[in-house]
Amino acid sequence: MDYKVHLNVFEGPLDLLLYFIKRDEINIYDIPIARITQEFLEYLEVIQTLNLRSAGEFIEMASTLMQIKAQMLIPRLADAIANQTIEDPRTALVERLLEYKKFKELSYDLAVLEEQQLPYFPRKVNSEYLGQAIPLNDVLQNVTLIHILAAFKRVLERIPETPSFHQVNEISATIATQTDFVYRHFIKCTKVSFSRLAESIKERIVLVVTFLAILDMVRRGQVKIRQSDLFEDFIIEKVE
Amino acid sequence: METESYHLAIVEALLIASELPVTQERIDDTIGEEFRINLPELVEKLNQIYTESRRSFFIMEVAGGYQIVTRKSYEELVRRYLNRSGRMRLSNAALEALAIIAYRQPIARPDIDQIRGVNSDGVLSTLLEKELIMVAGRADSPGRPLLYKTSQEFLRYFGLNSTADLPRLKELEEMLAQKPQTIQEAEKENASE
Amino acid sequence: METESYHLAIVEALLIASELPVTQERIDDTIGEEFRINLPELVEKLNQIYTESRRSFFIMEVAGGYQIVTRKSYEELVRRYLNRSGRMRLSNAALEALAIIAYRQPIARPDIDQIRGVNSDGVLSTLLEKELIMVAGRADSPGRPLLYKTSQEFLRYFGLNSTADLPRLKELEEMLAQKPQTIQEAEKENASE
């Protein structure tokens, strides 16, 4: 089956249809619907067999194709279509294909621009040590607790699940020990990023306790939290 | 002359301290009372200085402003230092969705799905995460889905000055103007199916 | 000499493009096979060049590495540029309280305090002052505390038409749930697609 090579290349049913059209140099305004439907169904079977991705969108398109095919097979309708007394049942599909094709081409243009831009690395500013007491730009704008939680969640995902379940470790971390842990980072500098804190933590549960400790410190006004954007790392700053 | 060198220094400091492209507008807004400056002119002078003194960076015009970027010749080393194994590109799916959003913004997810013929959930969250797109309110259509538009980061990422610089924008607009009904009708038909 | 100026250029490019402080260790790890360099020495030379050519930035030694920062004399201007003038900035505490009021309105102060685990008096008066929230009557609970809701100004500030346009908690959860992997992994996937 020559589809194998392309299995992961097609973004969806429209993409697949465009592939057939291009490969067979088909006139997009006069698609041989029976043949295309046959090929499409074969491909659909491959997807389903290999369970490669959700086939729902392909199934939907297959039924559209079969519907068009059926309409075109009715002799009376075929005559009417040929005489242009009723609209060609393929029209809506063709317009969808043309529109999709247009955006697909534009996406190639974007890929070219991306390629041109990749060699240039933009200036990156380290918000943790901006130095010179320059405050972070607009950091607090539109930041909510949800942003902070999102950052926490992301860090959490980086740590593998706690050991296996038969091995019950006593949790040595408490809010108090983790508050001390955070404070130890303030010896050298008054700011520390959460990801940096997390670097030395190996267990999820300890990270969770550390996060709670930080929230507790925020509540007590011992530290401030800054974050530049959703899912970004956040910075814990000691309040003097 | 003394003034100019001071203005050059200020623009340079802003470029160094800012990750977002530095714009004339924002300078005028914030420090313009003291410094009526001509940003494009100063940028050109700075770039001259950087070339002559063989600095490994230069100022690029992008996203309606200016930003410092490293020169092409250091790409490979910078990439290796930053620990990126190869050039990271957006997936085809992401580029498709971006193209649709860029040329049709603001647009809701159901409309993007309709054009692509596939669900774009995963792709949109990737684009949101990379800050290439942003939420632009809600559509009035049933369910009031969120609308998306491209961001300043989008312009920066693709090296565009504004969305007006998108390739083939004119061509596309002409196409749409020629047959506004057919496409809308097709959409309506598809939507009502 | 030619080698040295190339080394200087490389270090400079790394300093421009790296968000984290540039360290000798990381250079040795990533590009050290080709470039056996002495980072402190090169940094010193670069700083000399920057001083002589009157650049408005210099390389500062920070915890375990080096990074480019702007000179102190431009601090005030840079700060003003980066802090968009005139735009309001809210503390985390205020944002927390605001988020609670936005999603639970109308809500009384004791309930806000309970959710936040801390007294919200000061924060509420800030929000009232900035007209982001307003009084919406009194609760029926003991003591009949004042109820708060978000204002028209709140909607305007966040670009919303009505409170119904606030991102729904479910939408946020969906957004968060779609992130089973780290961004790096997702990037890898995208790159390999």
Looking at residue B19, its pLDDT comes to 82
CB-CB under 8 Å, C176 with A153: yes
**Do C57 and C104 fall within a single domain?**
no
Query: Which of C74, C109, C128 is where one domain is finished?
Result: C74
Contacts of A72 (CB under 8 A, 6+ apart): A33, A34, A78, A81, A89, A90
Q: Which amino acid is at A120?
A: Y
Looking at residue B183, its pLDDT comes to 40
Asked if C179 is an interface residue toward chain A (Cβ–Cβ < 8 A), one would say yes
**pLDDT class of C75 with cuts at 50, 70, 90:** confident
pLDDT tens-place values along chain A, 240 residues long? 344 444 556 778 898 898 888 888 888 888 888 888 988 888 887 777 665 556 788 888 888 898 888 888 787 777 777 777 777 888 889 989 999 999 998 999 999 999 999 899 999 886 544 443 334 333 334 444 455 555 555 555 555 544 434 444 455 677 788 888 888 888 777 888 888 888 778 777 778 778 878 877 877 778 887 765 555 677 888 877
Q: Are A147 and B135 in contact (CB under 8 A)?
A: no
Higher pLDDT, C30 or A231: C30
CATH class of A134-240: mainly alpha
**Do C70 and C117 fall within a single domain?**
no
**Do C65 and C96 fall within a single domain?**
no
CB-CB under 8 Å, B78 with A11: no
CATH code, domain carrying B70: 1.10.10.10
Nearest CA-CA distance, residue A130 and chain C, Å: 7
Contacts of B82 in chain A (CB under 8 A): 121
Nearest CA-CA distance, residue A94 and chain B, Å: 10
Alpha-carbon span A202 to A216, nearest angstrom: 21
The H or E element spanning position B134 is: strand B133-138
Within 51-80 of A, beta carbons closer than 8 Å to B belong to: 54, 57, 61
**Do C116 and C175 fall within a single domain?**
yes
Looking at residue A50, its pLDDT comes to 63
**Do C108 and C157 fall within a single domain?**
yes
Mean of the per-residue pLDDT values of chain B: 84
Asked if C172 is an interface residue toward chain B (Cβ–Cβ < 8 A), one would say no
Q: Which amino acid is at C157?
A: Y
Max Cα distance, chain B (Å): 70
Looking at residue C192, its pLDDT comes to 40
Q: How many domains does chain C have?
A: 2
Q: Supply the angle between the helices A145-158 and A204-219 in degrees, to the nearest 10.
A: 160
Q: Supply the angle between the helices A91-117 and B92-104 in degrees, to the nearest 10.
A: 100
Mean pLDDT across C85-94: 53
pLDDT digits (tens, 9 = 90+) for C15-29: 999 887 898 988 988
Contacts of C160 in chain B (CB under 8 A): 137
Domain boundaries, chain A: 1-122, 134-240
Q: Which amino acid is at A49?
A: T
Q: Are B19 and C19 in contact (CB under 8 A)?
A: no
Instruction: Please tell me which residue of chain A has the smallest CA distance to C70.
Output: A132
Alpha-carbon span C38 to C90, nearest angstrom: 45
Q: Helix or strand or coil: residue B136?
A: strand
The answer as to whether C119 is a domain residue is: yes
Looking at residue C172, its pLDDT comes to 57
Interface probe for C, chosen from B25, B45, B52, B55 (most Cβ of C below 10 Å), is B55
The H or E element spanning position B51 is: helix B39-52
Looking at residue B177, its pLDDT comes to 63
Q: Is the dihedral of CA C99, C102, C104, C109 positive or negative?
A: positive
Q: Which amino acid is at B32?
A: G
Lowest mean pLDDT among A189-193, C85-89, C160-164: C85-89
CB-CB under 8 Å, C12 with B80: no
Q: What would you report as the CA-atom Rg of chain B, rounded to the nearest whole angstrom?
A: 21
pLDDT digits (tens, 9 = 90+) for B42-58: 999 999 999 999 999 99
Mean pLDDT across C38-63: 91
What tokens were used for A190?
């008054």
CB-CB under 8 Å, C75 with A145: no
Q: Which of C94, C147, C83, C81 is nearest to C120 (CA)?
A: C94
Q: Are A165 and A199 in contact (CB under 8 A)?
A: no
Residue-number span of the structural domain to which B48 is assigned: 4-74
**Do C108 and C187 fall within a single domain?**
yes
Who among C12, C82, C84 is closest to B55 (CB)? C12
CB-CB under 8 Å, C63 with A188: yes
Looking at residue B57, its pLDDT comes to 96
The H or E element spanning position B66 is: strand B65-70
Nearest CA-CA distance, residue A148 and chain B, Å: 15
Predicted TM-score (pTM) of this structure: 0.63
Alpha-carbon span C145 to C149, nearest angstrom: 13
Q: Which of C173, C175, C193 is nearest to C185 (CA)?
A: C193
Higher pLDDT, C161 or B142: B142
CB-CB under 8 Å, B17 with A120: no
Looking at residue A145, its pLDDT comes to 45
Interface probe for B, chosen from A64, A102, A132 (most Cβ of B below 10 Å), is A102
Burial of A185 (0-12, 13-18, 19+ CB in 10 A): middle
Contacts of B100 in chain A (CB under 8 A): 103
CB-CB under 8 Å, A130 with B189: no
The answer as to whether C42 is a domain residue is: yes
Higher pLDDT, C35 or B166: B166
Looking at residue C91, its pLDDT comes to 63
Interface probe for C, chosen from B68, B91, B121, B133 (most Cβ of C below 10 Å), is B91
Q: Which of A180, A239, A179, A172 is nearest to A215 (CA)?
A: A179
The answer as to whether B102 is a domain residue is: yes
Looking at residue A131, its pLDDT comes to 41
Alpha-carbon span C85 to A3, nearest angstrom: 58
What tokens were used for B139?
């559509």
Asked if A138 is an interface residue toward chain B (Cβ–Cβ < 8 A), one would say no
The answer as to whether B21 is a domain residue is: yes
Instruction: Please tell me which residue of chain A has the smallest CA distance to B99.
Output: A107
Contacts of B182 in chain A (CB under 8 A): 95
Contacts of A100 in chain B (CB under 8 A): 115-117
Higher pLDDT, B185 or C114: C114
Alpha-carbon span A37 to A67, nearest angstrom: 10
**Do C101 and C161 fall within a single domain?**
yes
Looking at residue B96, its pLDDT comes to 94
The DSSP call for residue C193 is: -
**Predicted confidence (pLDDT) at residue C111 exceeds the cutoff of 60:** yes
Looking at residue B48, its pLDDT comes to 95
CB-CB under 8 Å, B80 with C191: no
The answer as to whether C86 is a domain residue is: no
Q: Are B98 and B164 in contact (CB under 8 A)?
A: no
**Predicted confidence (pLDDT) at residue C72 exceeds the cutoff of 60:** yes
**pLDDT class of C92 with cuts at 50, 70, 90:** low
Alpha-carbon span B16 to A132, nearest angstrom: 13
Looking at residue B86, its pLDDT comes to 63
The answer as to whether B59 is a domain residue is: yes
**Do B160 and B125 fall within a single domain?**
yes
**Do C188 and C96 fall within a single domain?**
yes
In terms of DSSP bridges, do strands A223-227 and A234-238 run parallel, antiparallel, or are they unpaired? antiparallel
Looking at residue A232, its pLDDT comes to 62
Q: Helix or strand or coil: residue A89?
A: coil
Mean pLDDT across C134-156: 85
Query: Which of B74, B101, B119 is where one domain is finished?
Result: B74
Higher pLDDT, B145 or A161: B145
**pLDDT class of B121 with cuts at 50, 70, 90:** confident
Looking at residue A162, its pLDDT comes to 42
What tokens were used for C83?
């802090």
**Do C97 and C160 fall within a single domain?**
yes
**Do B187 and B97 fall within a single domain?**
yes
CB-CB under 8 Å, C179 with A157: yes
User: Which DSSP string corresponds to A7-63?
Assistant: TTT--SHHHHHHHHHHHTT--TTS--HHHHHHHHHHHHHHHHHHT-S--HHHHHHHH
The answer as to whether C50 is a domain residue is: yes
**Do B12 and B64 fall within a single domain?**
yes
Looking at residue C190, its pLDDT comes to 40
Looking at residue A229, its pLDDT comes to 54
Q: Are A110 and B99 in contact (CB under 8 A)?
A: yes
The partner residues of A236 in beta bridges, in order of sequence, read A192, A225
User: Which DSSP string corresponds to C136-188?
Assistant: EEE-SSTT-PEEEEE-HHHHHHTT-SSGGGSPPHHHHHHHHHT--S-HHHHHH
Who among C90, C92, C183 is closest to A224 (CB)? C92
Looking at residue C63, its pLDDT comes to 67
